[in-house]
Amino acid sequence: MQLARLYGTSVRKAALKYSVPPTSIHRAVKNPEQSNLKAGPAPILSTEVENEIVNWILYRAEKGYPITKTELLDSVQSYIRNLGDEIPKTPFTNDRPGRHWFEKFRLRHPEITIRTPQHLTMTRACVTEEDLRGWFSDIGVYLKNKGVDKLHPSRVFNCDETNVQLIPKSEKVLAKKGASSAYKIVDGGEKESLTALFMYSADGTKAPPMIMYKYADSMPANILKNCPAGWGIGNSDNGWMTTETFFEYIANVFYPWLQKSEVEFPIIIYLDGHSSHVTIPLVKFCREKEIDVIALFPNATHIMQPLDIAFFHPFKEMWRAAIAKYEAEKDISRLKKEHFPAVLEQALHSFVNEKPTIINGFKAAGLVSFDPEAVEYNVLHKKKSKKKKAESEKSVEHVNTDSEVEDMKKHLLTLEKNLPDVVLQNFKETETIGVENQDTANNSLFQYWLEVKKAVGGKRMINHSLYYLIDHSAAN
């Protein structure tokens, strides 16, 4: 074909020279775009969709969020469902690809390979200084290669969520000497809580937060009405942040705020290394908008995450004080869900020395400026010593039989089923931040739940969710 096209050789002569049927050369000359097509049936998903999936896989691996085959197939299923009528109906069962699609997908994209991952430590007590220095080395090379190793602090962010109780643990009160107990009368529902997501930049600037409510369907109008303009409000079956609501926060709350604040791109967001929110749609959006999402080292956020270091502890105190002030001003005995946004806004406004505190948090985490020597590695050594001491005190370790494990699984399911949602969520968050930081009135129950859970493990539920962006300007 090239001989006939470039040198004017006749189709017949070219056919004779290379033993190719003249009709095939005629067809190739008239339709050159067809000559590049591969033989066999076309892929089920379009080239554009598969390229987005490949970009997502490579992006996550590069940023510290490598995925497994199961995660890939689950994510493709979710992505197909989100696309809806934008793509033709697939033959996949329940929209989830199977083994054959996976194998052919790998053949079509040889840049993706399967590797055995380095096993990361599963508890904070096991994280080592070597682990963290390795993370700093890898991420440092990545940042330098991308040319984002010396960004202005206003372009580096940390994002995290926390459980906020409507009625937090009470402060100590004054009482008559010798009295056996002191009580504070409150309405029911003192264990109820909400999830709030916060975002700060390394120069101490606060981005609009997001609040999650436990509603399966639409959000009550009185909650939406009381939320400050520009904030995000989401709801899900259990009130936790979901992949959908996190995407909506980044795309429809955070990104518009960046534009309005005239923040220069690209930017960096450091996230918890266990985050499951880095989905195909999120990666596609972030790549297009020059937003780099980077995973912090797992189980080390207590010394590497600025918000853990500098924000959440003072926030709990600010929150408690804001509730007391609001209840006194409004003459109410119990904070309700519709009051939450207004009280949260008051609490954040009361943050004394907000900017220097957040700036110091980023500095102590070694993120801005990017410096592994800034991290307090001695905290790791103290935790490791405590763990060794605890292990040495155990002279005999009982190994559960298979039947005992099955019984424990059933017991764990029954136990969690009978726990209030907020208590179970608090237990899970406390397990993540470390037992020594446990802040719950159910300490004995928590310790018992933790021992049962250690024997059988557990999985997190995925919930349907809805999302709202508060825009009061439309009502004015």
pLDDT over 80 at 105, yes or no: yes
What's the pLDDT at 446? 78
Handedness of CA 432, 433, 434, 439 (dihedral sign): negative
Alpha carbons 282 and 279: distance in angstroms, whole number: 5
Beta bridge partners of 367: 370
Query: What value does the mean pLDDT of the chain take?
Result: 80
The CATH class for the domain spanning 145-169+190-385 reads alpha beta
pLDDT over 70 at 264, yes or no: yes
Top pLDDT among 18 and 371 is at 371
b/e string for 417-452 if b means 16 or more Cβ within 10 A?
Answer: eebebbbbbbbbbbbebeeeebebebeeebeebeee
What's the pLDDT at 17? 63
pLDDT over 50 at 186, yes or no: no
What's the pLDDT at 70? 87
pLDDT over 70 at 200, yes or no: yes
Percent with pLDDT over 90 in the chain:
46
Mean pLDDT within 108-126: 67
pLDDT over 50 at 122, yes or no: no
pLDDT category, 16, cuts 50, 70, 90?
low
- Per residue in 416-470, pLDDT (tens digit) is 877 777 778 777 777 765 544 444 456 777 777 787 877 775 433 334 445 556 6
pLDDT category, 121, cuts 50, 70, 90?
very low
What's the pLDDT at 2? 47
Query: The whole model's pTM is what?
Result: 0.69
What's the pLDDT at 31? 62
pLDDT over 60 at 178, yes or no: no
Mean pLDDT within 292-299: 91
pLDDT over 50 at 147, yes or no: yes
pLDDT over 80 at 150, yes or no: yes
What's the pLDDT at 25? 61
- Per residue in 71-94, pLDDT (tens digit) is 899 899 989 988 888 888 888 999
Q: Whose CA is closest to 276, among 436, 415, 94, 461?
A: 461
Mean pLDDT within 388-393: 48
pLDDT category, 396, cuts 50, 70, 90?
very low
Full strand arrangement of the beta sheet holding 465-469: 291-295, 267-271, 156-165, 193-201, 210-214, 232-236, 465-469
Percent with pLDDT over 70 in the chain:
72
Kindly report which listed range (213-217, 258-262, 381-385) carries the lowest average pLDDT score.
381-385
pLDDT over 60 at 115, yes or no: yes
Asked whether the beta carbons of 160 and 272 are under 8 A apart, the reply is: yes
- For the chain, residues classed under CATH 3.30.420.10 are 145-169+190-385
pLDDT over 50 at 217, yes or no: yes
Kindly report which listed range (13-22, 197-206, 219-228, 291-300) carries the lowest average pLDDT score.
13-22
- Per residue in 308-356, pLDDT (tens digit) is 999 999 999 999 999 999 999 999 888 899 999 999 999 999 998 999 9
Maximum mean pLDDT: which of 1-10, 30-39, 151-160, 278-287: 151-160
Alpha carbons 328 and 169: distance in angstroms, whole number: 17
pLDDT category, 385, cuts 50, 70, 90?
low
Alpha carbons 337 and 238: distance in angstroms, whole number: 15
